[in-house]
Amino acid sequence: MKKKYSIIAACIFLGLSAQSFAQLSTLCGNQRFHDYVFPTIPTPISDVIYGSNIKMDSTTQVLKLDVYQPVGDVSTNRPLVIIAHGGSFLYNTKTGPDVVPLAQDLARLGYVTASMEYRLGMTGFPLGVDSTDAGAAVMRGVQDGRAAVRFFRKNARQGGNTYGIDTNNIFFAGVSAGGFIALHIAYMDHENEFPAYVDTIAQLGLHGGVEGLSGNQGYSSKVKAIVNICGALGDTLWMHNGDTPLLSFHGTADGTVPYGYAEITLANVFPLLKVYGSSTVAMRANHQGIPNCMETWFGQGHVPETDTTAAGHRYYDSTITITRTFLEQFTCGTVNNCSYTMTPMLGIDESVINADYTVYPNPTNTQATVDLSSFAGKAMNIELYDALGRKVVNVENFKGDKYNLQRNNLPAGMYYLSLIIDGKKFSKKVIFQ
């Protein structure tokens, strides 16, 4: 499902001012937000306290997040992406493999990112879990997510803006349960939308309505756009014209969080809630004129981008590339038409992607042979690019029937091999497992 819209329409929906774009445009030189212009993997500032609240067992949890910043960046007015992890609202952490790579890579693109923890647990788990229990767990996570957004606005106003945040440009992303949080922050924004089946008396830590009491009251929890990876929403009727733009990823064979409208169960045993998965959210967004993009992973299950297989690396590559492109419309004013491909935007021309040469084995672990016999010994340049368009191999004026492509220390994932011969470029995809 592809949704096209112009940047003019996006500006109207978002209420962006010329000044807001002007502030960001000063950061967009040198391909910031498009390429890894800060290539060093950042070390986070760990366990930053952003709030506290009562858990379902009546104890109080101090809420923390990890902040990742572009290494070597001197800017002090940068967009922020807050990321919430998955784990069925029962487990996982802010340092989990579903969120840390996203936080690191978005920081390498030039964003400040924050991986947040939130209150976990259901009082009836593992026996007796019902919609009241599950709904309460979701709402605690949503209230904590809103508190995290407010924390950065409060810090910018009262704390000296420790992390150099442009508070007009805060985004929220989430994986699985974190996707639930992102969607509810975007669209459950009125008190009469707080689910009636959530018991705010018997279930602890739920006071304060949709905003909650997890900290930093008095500041806005609005975000500019969200990224939802395999999450769901309690009710699409909460979505209205002019609401928050969104990007969604979801597999059609997801057995954990439904792709469409269906009942979600815990461990395939306990019926919990009927929810609206990403495809139905996208349909409602289209109907209401909410700027959105939907990337469907046909035949895939839950969060395939977290797999450590070669296929998982490909889905991760597409996730970070599509997210990069989606966010660029807000950071740099680019036009977004949702017509994404895996092709990087820098240095790759796939117009002759099926050129008459072979690469084998492909996928490969350590090296691959490039059969160049069809080019009759012509001189060529050989280039290899990663998924975001960064050139990682460059060989000039090569002549021969075969070229041995070495992986060396390249991480697993999808790459693009290009041969430049007589001014023409011939490209193929290469996968390192």
Element (H, E) at 146: helix 131-158
pLDDT at 424: 74
- pLDDT band, very low/low/confident/very high, at 22 (cuts 50, 70, 90): very low
Q: Which of 48-52, 328-332, 337-341 has the highest mean pLDDT?
A: 48-52
End-to-end CA distance of the chain: 29
Is the model more confident about 15 or about 221? 221
Lowest mean pLDDT of 5-9, 217-221, 352-356, name the range: 5-9
Write down all domains in the chain, each with its CATH number in brackets: 7-331 (3.40.50.1820), 358-432 (2.60.40.1930)
DSSP state string for 18-32:
HHHHHHHHTT-GGGT
Choice among 55-59, 160-164, 174-178 with the minimum mean pLDDT = 55-59
Rounded distance between C-alpha atoms, residue 410 and residue 432, angstroms: 8
Question: Would you say residue 283 has pLDDT above 50?
Answer: yes
* One-letter identity of residue 217: Q
pLDDT for residue 311 is more than 90: no
Total residues belonging to the chain: 433
Average pLDDT on 33-42 reads: 92
Lowest-pLDDT range of 55-59, 234-238, 267-271: 267-271
Q: Minimum mean pLDDT among 3-7, 210-214, 273-277, 351-355: which range?
A: 3-7
DSSP letter at 248 equals: E
The two structure tokens encoding residue 122: 């259901």
Residue 430: the pLDDT is: 85
pLDDT tens across 372-423, in order? 888 878 899 998 887 656 788 999 999 998 999 999 988 887 778 888 887 7
Lowest model confidence (mean pLDDT) among 36-50, 67-81, 163-177, 414-428: 414-428
Residue 356 vs residue 20, higher pLDDT? 356
Structure tokens at 221: 């929890």
> What's the whole-number average pLDDT of the chain?
86
User: Which amino acid is present at 54?
Assistant: I
Cβ atoms within 10 Å of 29's Cβ, excluding its own:
9
DSSP string, 219-243: S----S-EEEES-EES-GGG--TT-
Share above pLDDT 90 across residues of the chain, in percent, rounded to a whole number: 61
Omega within 30 of 0 (cis) for the link into 361: yes
Q: Percentage of the chain with pLDDT > 70?
A: 86
Q: What is the pLDDT of residue 346?
A: 41
Structure tokens, 381: 């340049």
CB-CB contact of 66 with 95 (8 Å): yes
* 211 close to 153: Cβ distance less than 8 angstroms: no
Burial label, 59 (beta-carbon count in 10 A; 0-12, 13-18, 19+): exposed
pLDDT at 348 over 90: no
Please give the Cα distance from 387 to 314 (Å, whole number).
9
For residue 350, pLDDT over 50 is answered with no
Question: Which residue reads 């939308």 in tokens?
Answer: 193
The pLDDT tens digits for 246-256 are 999 999 999 99
Q: Report which residue type is found at 415.
A: Y
For range 28-44, the mean pLDDT: 90
* Cβ contact 243:187 at 8 Å: yes
pLDDT tens-digit series, residues 118-128: 999 988 666 65
pLDDT reported for residue 340: 58
Q: What is the pLDDT of residue 128?
A: 59
Q: Does residue 285 have a pLDDT over 90?
A: yes
Distance from C-alpha of 261 to C-alpha of 269, rounded to nearest angstrom: 18
* Pairing outcome for strands 165-175 and 78-84: parallel
pTM metric for this prediction? 0.76
Judge contact between 419 and 378, C-beta under 8 A.
no
Q: Can you tell me the mean pLDDT for 193-215?
A: 87
